[in-house]
Amino acid sequence: MTRLSVNINKIATLRNSRGGTMPSVTEAAIRCQQFGAEGITIHPRPDERHIRYNDARELKSLVTTEFNIEGYPDPRLIGLVLEVLPQQVTLVPDSPSAITSNAGWNTIKHRDFLKEVVAKFQKAGIRVSLFVGTEPEMIEGAALVGADRVELYTEPYATEFPSNPEKAILPFIKAAQSAEKYGLGLNAGHDLSLENLRYFDQHIPNLLEVSIGHALIADALYLGLEETIRRYRECLK
């Protein structure tokens, strides 16, 4: 069964909009795990507009499933990850001004940089996943820099899914085959939802984990957090 990691950034966005402590990011993480999530994902950004760096420190002892920290590996994030020591770090190529992740790594162009960062995290015992598109050469590049996994950027799939599911899924099936060829574990995330998740999971071989935040938290406004997590996990059976 593919594991569900819940990205709780949107909880932090709501909290920060009033400048207080409600809703609680830590309580959200605890509840998500109680309700069946198999991981918690956070993506701190330099301006701390949602998840704050101190949130990561507070969550360290509360995440009893899998803790996944995403982000661009600038010196500050590298220091945070090495301090907190999550089970997994997912490296993304976002600029500081990016609203959300919108592309995968060029693992060829950034080979030397990624190789150094990957080795640094692995030395600390942290599994490293690289956020990539479906291009076989980028997946091969992830293997060449020593990554343990790749996380497929699934927004193109989500965009095309309503009109043509078969066409939408095809590049991702091929990408999954490439990941297997190069000995990489496979994660996926970005714009996966109750509408498109089941189809994705049914067609992608060897999918280990999906990271879902925006759609899941939006659904929870209508369905409640417990029922929402139950429905997402049902899509992954």
In this model, does residue 99 exceed pLDDT 60?
A: no
Q: Where are the domains of the chain?
A: 3-235
Active site residue 190: yes
How far CA 99 is from CA of 29, 183, 217, in Å, comes to 23, 32, 17
Mention every residue, 6+ apart, whose C-beta is less than 8 A from residue 126: 81, 85, 86, 87, 88, 89
- What is the pLDDT, as a whole number, of residue 224? 98
Fold of 3-235: TIM Barrel (3.20.20)
70 is catalytic: yes
Taking CA atoms, 187 is separated from 59, 82, 118, 167, in Å, by 22, 22, 17, 20
What gap in Å lies between CA 213 and CA 43, rounded to an integer? 10
Q: What is the mean pLDDT of the chain?
A: 96
Cα angle 228, 212, 48; round to 5: 115
Residue of 43, 50, 151, 209 marked catalytic: 43
Q: Are 145 and 114 in contact (CB under 8 A)?
A: yes
Per-residue pLDDT tens for 166-214?
A: 999 999 999 999 999 999 999 999 999 999 999 999 999 999 999 999 9
Of the listed 50, 66, 151, 190, which one is catalytic? 190
Q: Which pLDDT score is estimated for 101?
A: 64
66, 70, 151, 209: which is the annotated catalytic residue? 70
Give pLDDT tens digits for 137-176.
999 999 999 999 999 999 999 999 999 999 999 999 999 9
Tens of pLDDT, residues 9-39: 999 999 999 989 999 999 999 999 999 999 9
The verdict on whether 38 is a catalytic residue reads: no
Prediction pTM value: 0.95
Confidence of residue 237 (pLDDT cuts 50, 70, 90): confident
pLDDT band at 102 (very low <50, low <70, confident <90, very high): low
